[in-house]
């Protein structure tokens, strides 16, 4: 079922002026240099165009044809994008993403609140609210992630050597509550702490569809309910020129997670996440960008519940592993590397393209070694949704091993 034949139609419209941000907003920071200076008119540039301008043309409304791109202000700016499509994983699916972007104060970085909801013919219900709020003259950053999923989804066993034929359909409810507060220490460096809850209930499985018994899920030994709850210690450094769609700079994020039985966890366990990204223009002086992403998610002690193990596209951004469906690989350790070349197609910025290559490796159960490296690759199209925030609609087609391939649609760059 990894093979996905998409018959996908993206239907979108924007509410009022959509100076919003993208769907995945964790660690999306803007440097003061991006936000404090007024834009200067560049007579050598072509006037930039986005889908808002096209919508205004269709509706015969006045379009801003100047070469100066406006900035997000203290007045909230809203956007909404409905979409529907079809894959073999979800069958018919509908979704709606809406967000608000604003500044607490004129000189503050951009704060965002994003809501996402969707429903599929396979009875997958998702509801998610993410927030990133800058407080006290950018000295504090408050990051929230709240989710409820009713989520039938297959697993394929542990490790990156697992076979696609070992498909094991699961069903469960999922509740997530994450809240993190970061404090600026100096320049682009912040540290902080958070409290997190991952709660899976009403867990059931059908067993491997190919008849192989027992399944890795049943061998792992989880029951019908698991809880992981505890605190996190966080640090991050961000020198990107624009975190929404970077063209230069560096980002590094670190999270240490500690879960305790006395707080309600099913088991005591600990993990670390290391998230490193680098962006630079290539060729130098052009608008084209090479982006590099390293994401390592490692269990360092204890035994996490099966559904809390590192897994493909279960990173906070649901971004890693294009070319494979969500949950294709799972294990106690994940090491991930991706590079992407982003280039313009039209001078007005409306259309762009990408080419990407990623490599992922997972261990099996806790205490085991990393297994085979699994590649993913493919091309993509970018359509400018919002020239103010540089937010794109990302449409990618990815290929993986064992016949895996599929369409991946996102609001905003994946990393």
CA 98 to CA 75: how far, in whole Å? 16
Three-state DSSP at 56 gives helix
Whose structure tokens read 């912040």? 190
> Exposure pattern of 299-316 as b/e (b: 16+ CB <10 Å)?
beeebbbbbbbbbbbbbb
**How many of the other CB atoms lie within 10 Å of CB of 158?**
26
* CA distance linking residue 203 with residue 233, whole number of Å: 29
Q: List, in sequence order, every residue forming a beta bridge with 177; answer none if it has no partner.
A: 146, 197
Q: Which residues pair with 83 in a beta bridge?
A: 95
At 246-293, the pLDDT tens digits run: 999 999 999 999 999 999 999 999 999 999 999 999 998 899 999 999
Please determine, for residue 210, whether its predicted confidence score (pLDDT) is greater than 60: yes
User: First-to-last CA distance in the chain?
Assistant: 26
- Nearest C-alpha neighbor of 298 from the set 273, 326, 265, 327: 273
Which of 104-118, 215-229, 364-378 bottoms out in mean pLDDT, i.e. has the lowest? 104-118
**Prediction pTM value:** 0.84
Query: Among all chains, which residue has been given the structure tokens 């390293």?
Result: 294
Which residues are paired to 371 by β-bridges? none
pLDDT band at 86 (very low <50, low <70, confident <90, very high): low
Q: Give residue 6's pLDDT.
A: 36
Q: Regarding the domain delimited by 32-411, which CATH topology (the fold level of the hierarchy) does it fall under?
A: Porin (2.40.160)
Count Cβ neighbours within 10 Å for each residue of 255-276 and write b for 16 or more, e otherwise: bebbbeeeeebbbbbbbebebb
| Domain extent listing, the chain | 32-411
Length of the chain: 415
- The SS3 call for residue 124 is coil
Query: Which of 223, 314, 304 minimizes the C-alpha distance to 267?
Result: 304
The pLDDT score that the predictor gives to residue 382 is 97
């Amino acid at each position: 079922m990894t093979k996905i034949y998409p018959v996908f139609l993206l239907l979108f419209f924007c509410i009022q002026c959509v100076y919003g941000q993208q769907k995945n907003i964790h660690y999306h920071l803007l440097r003061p240099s991006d936000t404090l200076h007024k834009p200067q008119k560049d007579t050598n540039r072509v006037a930039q165009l986005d889908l808002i301008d096209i919508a205004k043309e269709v509706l015969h409304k006045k379009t801003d044809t100047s070469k100066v791109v406006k900035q997000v202000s203290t007045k909230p700016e809203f956007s909404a994008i409905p979409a529907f499509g079809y894959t073999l994983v979800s069958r018919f699916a509908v979704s709606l993403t809406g967000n608000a972007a604003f500044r607490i104060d004129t000189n503050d970085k951009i704060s965002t609140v994003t809501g996402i909801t969707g429903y599929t013919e396979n009875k997958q219900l998702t509801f998610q609210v993410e927030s990133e709020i800058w407080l006290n003259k950018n000295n504090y950053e408050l990051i929230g992630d709240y989710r409820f999923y009713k989520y039938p989804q297959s697993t394929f066993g542990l490790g990156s050597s697992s076979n696609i034929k070992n498909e094991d359909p699961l069903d469960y409810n999922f509740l997530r509550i994450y809240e993190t507060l970061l404090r600026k220490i100096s320049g682009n460096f912040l540290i902080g702490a958070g409290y997190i809850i991952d709660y899976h209930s009403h867990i059931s499985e059908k067993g491997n569809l190919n008849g192989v018994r027992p399944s890795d899920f049943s061998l792992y030994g989880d029951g019908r309910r698991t809880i992981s709850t505890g605190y996190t210690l966080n640090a991050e450094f961000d020198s990107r020129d624009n975190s929404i769609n970077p063209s230069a700079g560096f980002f590094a994020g670190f999270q240490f997670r500690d879960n305790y039985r006395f707080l309600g966890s099913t088991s005591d366990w600990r993990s670390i996440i290391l998230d490193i990204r680098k962006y630079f223009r290539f060729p130098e002086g052009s608008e084209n960008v090479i982006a590099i992403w390293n994401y390592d998610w490692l269990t360092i002690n204890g035994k996490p519940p099966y559904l809390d193990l590192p897994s493909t596209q279960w990173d906070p951004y649901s971004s890693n592993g294009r070319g494979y469906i969500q949950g294709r690989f799972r294990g106690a350790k994940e090491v991930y590397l991706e590079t992407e070349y982003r280039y313009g197609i039209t001078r007005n910025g409306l259309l762009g393209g990408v080419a990407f290559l990623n490599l992922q490796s997972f261990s099996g159960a806790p205490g085991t070694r990393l297994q085979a490296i699994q590649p993913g690759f493919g091309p993509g199209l970018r359509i400018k949704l919002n020239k103010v925030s540089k937010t794109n609609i990302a449409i990618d087609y990815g290929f993986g091993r064992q016949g895996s391939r599929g369409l991946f649609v996102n609001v905003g760059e994946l990393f």
